Structure formats: structure tokens, C-alpha cells
Structure 1
């Protein structure tokens, strides 16, 4: 018989490659024998989940796919880094009273695309003092849409590009009874003083989990190609909103402020370009792949100004002139043109006649 986790003699533990979000939300195990949470139970659970979470390889692969999708739609993606703490989804239900928005499959905290859209909209609607009322109304209707028409831009989830660090934090509300029952202050009760916002209330520490030292990929794309003209302005609004307002919860306390990390953005774009090149190369035939390698070597030598008559480039070309006789006709013609370009750059040498005959043989 399989016992439920809370009846096991050994305490369940999260595996190294486990989903931290699923564990944090569904496997809370700090209840007492009476199914009540002891005073230290909440802080124990929060502290136990602090640390680095997320698998680097999976997050990197997801970031590349995410950026590829944004780019394919004609959009723009960039990595933003937190300058302190970041928390999203604190209002979600949880035994410790404060939840956290976890990505279901990646198991790391993230910011939903709807939250990104709401952040940019708030900046345009309330905070951007450079806009007159007419331009503000136009942007709100065009960029974000109405109940009758979708906006011109798509806002994607902001996902971490690498493992994130989680830390335990605490808030200490001093008047919890006032917050909970203040609306009933005029109704009779045994302890009416608890419903009054006064100094005699005791602070109640509430632990919660926050993110720090995170880098997240944000993305915005036009819904149709003709809307791409305003993409730079929408992205500028995102940058200003992240810098001045912050994303997620507790922004009034300084949480959620982010700045674009140009180095991380450039690195991600370079890796995305390499991934695209590798995917394209994988679709090539063996003959086309050999031509691609030879052409790349020629371009590299031209860039460096290298001309080696007996170098690897020439040796590889000579070998392909032999093997290419059995290639399909279109590839043989492409090899002939490439060989002429290579010998024209490096020099035909003493075997000029022999090499021209081999090239002519490819064209028969």
C-alpha cells in the first residue's frame, strides 16, 4: 500500500532536478499533529526553499526558443536584470499566506505576459508625462486594445535565462485585525479594540519568498507587420516602466526594478544565431554541408587576409575536386564556381592547367 506523503516515516525531499515551483506549492509539510501550522512552520518552509533554482541547460534552451519566436513574429526581445528583490504572485493562496508565481514546466518564478502588458499600460496611462492627453488615449487604444478590438502588440511572458536565487524575506504588518475586520468596526463584538487601527496591535511577522539576482527575457511583437513601426516606442515604454515603476509586488518598497542587461542580451542573440545556423546546416545534404564548410573557410581566410598556396583550404579543395565527380549536377556546378573563386583568391599555382581541367570535368 502506498501511504500519502505526510504518513511516510522518511521526510520527502526535492530531487536535484525537481520542479521547485511544484514542490513549493503542493508539498508543504510543516503542519503539526493537529493540522495547524506552528509558529516556526511558515518561516521553516520559506527558508528551506531559499537558494538557487532552475536547470541552466533547460532555461537556456527555452530562452533560445522564446527569442526565436519573438524574432520570427517581427518583435524584439531583451534581457533585463533585477537590481534587488523581485516577487510576483504574492497574492496567490498558500499555507504561508504569500504565494509566488511559478512557471509550470520550468519550475522558476516568472512574470506573466499579462503582467508585462499591465505594467506598460500603467506607465503610458498614469506616469508618462511626455504625452499629451490625445496621444495618451491613442496609444492606450492602439497598443493595448479595447473590449471590442485586440491591441496592436503581443506581450510575452518574462522568463529567466539562467538559474535564479531565491531568498527568505519577511513583512511585519502591525494591524492585521484592522486589515481583516476594519469594515465591521461598527458591529458589536467581544474585542472591538482589535478592529481599530492603533498602536497597541502587535506586529505579526509574515515570511515570504523573493527572487534576487535574476535575469529575465522580455519580449514584445507586433500583431501584424504593419504595426511594427511603433515597436521601438512600445519597448522604450517597457524600459522606463521597469526602471521607474518596477514589476511584480511590493514595488513601493523598491522591489521589481530592472535595467536592460546589454551584455546578456547580446550573448543570447549570438547563441540564437548559432542555433539557427546549426539548424540550417543540419538540413543540408552531405555535399551541401561540404560546400558550406569550404565556403566558410574561404571567407575566414579572406577576412584575415591569409593566402596559403599549400594550406588546408587548397588541400580541401583539391580533395573535393576528386570526390565531386560523383555529386549531383547542381552541387557539382556550385563546387566548380567555388573552386574558381578559391584559386582566384589564393592563386592557381603551377598546376593551373590540371586544376582547370578538373573544374571543367565537374561541368560535363
Structure 2
């Protein structure tokens, strides 16, 4: 991105407009020049769209990914009276409607991300496909002029579910299955810690003693008293760093020796210093999930009727005469499809053999719990983020393999090659369109006499370079061009321009001859007289 120095007026317009350029209609010359600080592809898109009506810019959606239109170039201001600008009020929905089309550029990015992920996965990895059955709202807390953000993958500008967020919801589902559900589907608390890492702020470690989380935790401690857990045994060995040993000695004294499993679990619950001394990332990582290409976005609305009451001002009770306050925000609509993917990190020698044969089945159980009770993204308590699972053969579930075999290297390379060819074709087409637009713009900028003389000059040059045999064939076409040029020039109101055209055409006739070669002398004399008279009339 190149630097540029903007004038004071242009700089203020650049700052006021969330699109990053001044979109106001102006007769001033410098407003027709886009600032160099705007990327080249956006300059071209906005230049094409400047002739569009109002704020609806043509081709912008295809050239600029939705995340960039929502964050970098969002239309957050509108024209007020006079020359003032003010934040959007009644037209927030219209501004968001400009975002909902994904466009060609974003689809190309989604395809590239899909292929990149495909090359990283094999049969040892976990992959499941889900399809939204309700709108998905994610990134709601991100700052934005419409007060409701949305999560877009930086720097690509496409919607996504963050891998960290997916890991968090899978962890929550695993914890609920392990501590709160009668049917755990194989989940235990040490398995949660082994696969997702240890979290010192977990609800069952810091909640009140009468919490259902604590009751589930205490029930697990009781189970360990009767039957020690092998996974927890290995975790305690991995966690036992010098800092943790020092904290344990301070709390329990060195003479008591190492704690057994039940005592260690109770210590985790009782002492915050012990929890803070435990550091473990977990064996799994989750990839960011992007929707399948050709997805679209949508604008949703929530319409709170009792704003003052919900905000707790205490000034009045809710009643039917209040004015609702519509709030618009972006969502991914039902039908959008994601591929959720997870794979093991560097494997701990002593721990991985205890989970390697069951971790995929455990993730399947967590995914089923998320689909039934939790959902994805924000506002899940009111029905957002509900999804359905793709059907899988029973043997695939048992083996932990995904419903769809990962592509072979040859298939991936073929797809990459196809994508390269398509990208090359698209770039070539865009370059041709840009070149054609530049030629058209240059042609429209020419004065009237140049528009007449330039194509005529080309025909004269072609005639002069031709052999005598070919000249007979192309002379009629040249005569028609000369006659058309005379007719066009006669309509020019500026006498100086008309005289210039006549003088240039006179030079051209001197080069190609006033009369057609091969004709009889009498006819040649008539042709020359007629053409000279036409040029003389043009000079008046």
C-alpha cells in the first residue's frame, strides 16, 4: 500500500467517511481522484461504482470481501443538512444490506482456505461437517458503528468460527458430560484436562459449594478414592514442575510427601495458588472453521420494547406505550455449512497412548451434546447457532474417521491446479476489462477533432503500407471513412476545430491521392474537384 499526502479537505473527508474515501457528489476536480492510500483493487471497484445510484456501488461486493466492507470501508456516516455528516440512524439496515453478498473475491479465498486445510489432514485427524439450522451470530462483542460486531477472519475478510472458540465450546460440552450428565459417553475430568488443557478458572474449581458443578466434582473425587484414574496419574507427573512442588510443600509441608489423587483433586479445589501453578495446553488444537464457498450473509433484527426497564434505570415500569428500538446485526443464515476440524499437537509419550484410541469418539460425543444443548456462537440461549450433523456410517464413527475421506495428494494437487487456472483466467479477464475501461476513458477524454482524425489516420497508414494490388480492394473502405469523417466534422460547432480537421484530411488526401487509382481521367478529375470543394466548405 503506497503512501500519499492528502489535502486538508480530502484528509477530513477520508476520516469522516467509513468507506475511507469521500463519496459525496462534488463538482470539484480533486474529488474525482481516489486517494492512493486505498488499495488498487478497491480503487478500481469504487471507480466502477461511482456511476451507481446512491450508495449501491456496482462490483464492490465481488471485489471486496464482506469483512473489509464491514470493518474497513463500512458506510457509518450519512449526509445531513448542508455539508455536515452524522452517524447512521435510520439507514443502518441499508448499510448492513451492502455486506450480505459474499462475492467472487471472498469465494476464491474460501476455496483457497479449504484446499490449504485439506492438505494438512489425514486419517488420524478429526473432521465433521455441520449445517446451520438457525442463524449464527458470532463476534457480537467486537466494536462497530452499529454496536454489534461480527467475527471476520483477518486479513482475509471472510466470516469464520475461531478455533479457540470451538475449543472452548467443545471443552464446555465435555465438562458437562463428565460432571453433570448421567451418561458421560466416556468423558472424565482428567480426559478433559488431557485433551483441552487445564483451566484454573473452571466453574467446578471456583464455584460455591452448593453448585451442581461442585457436586459433580466431589462425586468424581469419590470415584477416584475407590479407583485411581490412569490419565490423572500421568497428568500429575507431567504437571509436577518445581513451582508446583514448592507450592505443595508450602501448603502441606515436605514431610507429608507427594499427594495421592483424591488429596490432589481436593487441593486443586481449595487452593488458588496450586491451580495457578498448573500449566498444560492439552493434546488437541482446533482449526478456524470457515463456511463453504458460495455462502451468503443476512441481516437479522432484535426489537426490545422495554429498553428503560431492561437497563434497570428504575424510572418506570414496562408498558405497551413504549417505542421499540430495532437493532440490526449480521448473521450467517440457516443452510450455511462448516467443516469442524481438530488434530493432535505434539504427543506426550506417557499420555497419548491413554487417549489415542478414543479421542475422536469423545469429540463426536461432545459435538452431539453441543448440537442438542449448547449451539455455536452467541445468543445460543434464544435459539441462535443451532446446527445439524452430517450422517456418518456406523463403522466410521467407531473408527473415529470423518464422514468424508480426506482427498489424496493427487486430488489436492489437481484441485490446486484447477484453482490456479481459474485464478489466472479471472485475472486475465479483469486485466482485459481494466484495459478496455482505460481505453474507453482515454477515448472519451479526447477532443472532438481527435475522435474523428485518429481512426481515419489508422486507415490511411494501412492504405499507404499496402501493395498496389491490395489498395484496389481497401480503397472503397477508405473512401467511406473519409466521407464519414467529413460528415462528422461538419457537425462541429467550433470553427477552429473544423478547420483543423479539414487541414489534416487535406494532408491525408495528398498521401493517398485525391482520386481513386485506375479510374479514367475524367472521373478522376470529378472526384478530386468534389473532395476539394467538401474540404473548402468545411473550412468556412
In the alignment, is the contact (CA less than 8 A) between 2:65 and 2:102 conserved in 1?
A: no
Distance 1:239 1:35 in 2: 48
Highest RCO, 1 vs 2 (Cα 8 Å, sep ≥ 6): 1
1:167 to 298, 303, 310: 298
Corresponding residue to 1:137 among 164, 183, 189: 189
Match of 1:206 among 327, 338, 341: 327
Task: State whether structure 2 residue 130 is matched by structure 1 residue 80.
Answer: yes
Q: 1:269 aligns with which of 397, 406, 424?
A: 406
**Partners of 1:199 and 1:136 in 2: CA distance:** 50
Distance 1:248 1:278, change over 3 A: closer
Q: Is the 8 A contact 1:71 1:77 kept in 2?
A: no
Tell me which residue corresponds to 1:247: 376
Partner of 2:97: 47
Alpha carbons 1:88, 1:109 under 8 Å: kept: no
Instruction: Indicate whether 1:215 and 2:265 are aligned.
Output: no
Alignment match of 1:59 (pick from 110, 114, 129): 110
User: Which stretch shows the higher mean deviation, 135-144 or 17-26?
Assistant: 135-144
Equivalent in the alignment of 1:232: 360
Counting only pairs closer than 5 Å after superposition, residues 297-312 of structure 1 correspond to structure 2 as none
Query: 2:287 maps to which residue?
Result: 156
Q: 1:6: which partner in 2?
A: 22
Where do 1:101-112 residues align within 5 Å? 101-112=151-162
Indicate if the aligned counterparts of 1:53 and 1:108 stay in contact, CA closer than 8 A.
no
Structure holding more strand per residue = 1
Partner SS, residue 209 of structure 1: strand
Contact 2:118 2:407 in 1 (8 A): no
Measured in 2, the distance between the counterparts of 1:262 and 1:126 equals 24
Instruction: Decide whether aligned partners of structure 1 residues 19 and 135 sit closer, same or farther in structure 2, where only a CA change above 3 A counts.
Output: closer
> Considering only aligned residues, what root-mean-square deviation do their CA atoms show, in Å?
3.2
Structure 2, unpaired ranges of 5+ = 1-5, 15-20, 26-49, 200-278, 393-401, 417-540
Structure 1 residue runs without a partner (length 5+) = 186-191, 280-364
Q: Which residue of 1 aligns with 2:509?
A: none
Aligned to 1:20: 66
How far, CA to CA, are the matches of 1:273 and 1:6 in structure 2?
A: 49
Corresponding position of 1:100: 150
Q: Shift of the alpha carbon at 1:231? A: 2.4
Deviations 1:149-195 (A, max 9, x none): 11121111111231211111100122333444x2x65xxxxxx33xx
Contact 2:174/2:366, CA 8 A, preserved across alignment: no
Contact 2:62–2:103 under 8 Å retained in 1: no
Cα 1:133/1:214, change in 2 over 3 Å: closer
Larger Rg: 2
Distance 1:106 1:38, change over 3 A: closer
CA gap of 1:29–1:132, structure 2 versus 1, over 3 A, is closer
- Spell out the pairing of 1:351-362 with structure 2 (5 A cutoff): none
Residue 120 of structure 1 and its aligned partner are, at CA, apart by 1.0
CA distance, structure 1, for counterparts of residue 307 and residue 167 of structure 2: 32
1:53 shift after superposition: 4.1
1:76/1:221 contact within 8 Å kept: yes
Counterpart residue number, 1:115? 165
The answer to whether the 8 Å contact 1:222/1:231 transfers is: no
Preserved CA contact (<8 Å) 1:22 1:104: no
Q: Is the 8 A contact 1:59 1:106 kept in 2?
A: no
Deviation at 1:199, TM superposition (A): 5.3
How many residue pairs are counted as aligned between the two chains? 267
- SS of alignment partner, residue 87 of structure 2: coil
Tell me the alpha carbon deviations over residues 211-269 of structure 1, each in whole angstroms, 9 at most, x when there is no partner: 12211121111224534323223321342144212100122232212223359x76783
Separation (CA, whole Å) in 2 of partners of 1:277 and 1:28: 38
Shift of 1:271: 7.0
Over 3 Å counting, the alpha-carbon distance change for 1:15 and 1:170 in structure 2 is closer
Measured in 2, the distance between the counterparts of 1:15 and 1:251 equals 29
Q: How far 1:204 sits from its partner (Å)?
A: 0.8
- Structure 1 pair 132–217 and aligned structure 2 pair: CA distance change class (3 A): closer
Q: Is the CA contact (8 Å cut-off) linking 1:87 and 1:211 kept in structure 2? A: yes
What is the distance in 1 between the residues matched to 2:410 and 2:380? 35
Alignment partners' CA distance in 2, 1:18 and 1:251: 30
